[in-house]
Structure 1
């Protein structure tokens, strides 16, 4: 369990270039999800994250993929859905996140992908709350196309934990 938290924190640190992951405080583990918080400047940030349980494709040794939801109430930014990877996405590509029959498109930049706007973030979260697993399809800059499967067991409880820690009302 601590190894998983360390992997998530290290991946976030590597992909964002900031020191927040090293200072992250674990709020709890819920199924396959971790709920964490840290301080950015003077503002509290809360997030939930999981690693893909299964990944196929990509460059050998560089295909770890993380699904994250972040609250930054100090910036009035809540429910931001992102993908962090240990590989670079193909330039000008998009990522498809599928939950059941519903598909969501995220834009990419470097090793990260995001929804286009807050309305899409909220739609993705609603889909994640109802699903059993999410499957990501992406094209990395090197290697074959990636398919990553994220279990959604514990997603809603982890999100509730982050909501409570950052005082987010639903």
Structure 2
């Protein structure tokens, strides 16, 4: 089941790139709730850590496959880019809120994904993930359903350390 979710996450990440230029992900190692992965894209390597929510609310709706990813793309000068990936289209012009230990980070949305609205806050979000215990993500679906997800942050520091030297 988890391998299927990883394959779906990778396909969503690659949506804007040439599939022929990318290869299947290589699972580097699992660190508690977070896995470290890499794949070749063109002449470079993309590395990322990924986790799935421990709970999904409301429980009565089909959320599809949900992920939180932090990726590294050295060839594109992208370092530790957090991204929320949903199994449904998000409400147009809505925001996703990531909360760690009472601190909120706002993400902008496009289709089924969300990224940190102010890129300068990406390092602070990643730092909060490393020192936090739990993380929640709140969103609104295209149908107007308010959703929330809880994530364990156990293993995030070790997983990020594993992809630190991505080349």
TM-score, normalised with respect to structure 2: 0.90
Report if the CA contact (8 A) 1:58-1:146 is conserved: no
1:17-32 to 2 correspondences below 5 Å: 17=15, 19=19, 23-32=24-33
Structure 1 match to 2:78: 77
Structure 2 match to 1:43: 44
Report if the CA contact (8 A) 2:22-2:42 is conserved: no
Superposed CA RMSD in Å reads 2.0
Structure 2 match to 1:33: 34
Aligned length: 164
Following TM superposition, the consecutive aligned residue runs of length 4 or more in structure 1 with deviations greater than 3 angstroms are 18-22
Structure 2 match to 1:10: 8
List per-residue Cα deviations over 1:70-114 (Å, max 9, x = no partner): 000001111100001111110000000000110100000000000
Any gaps of 5 or more consecutive residues in structure 2? none
Report if the CA contact (8 A) 2:96-2:108 is conserved: yes
Structure 2 match to 1:159: 160
Any gaps of 5 or more consecutive residues in structure 1? none
List per-residue Cα deviations over 1:91-143 (Å, max 9, x = no partner): 00000000011010000000000012442110100000111111011111125
SS at match of 1:23: coil
Pairwise CA distance, 1:53? 1.1
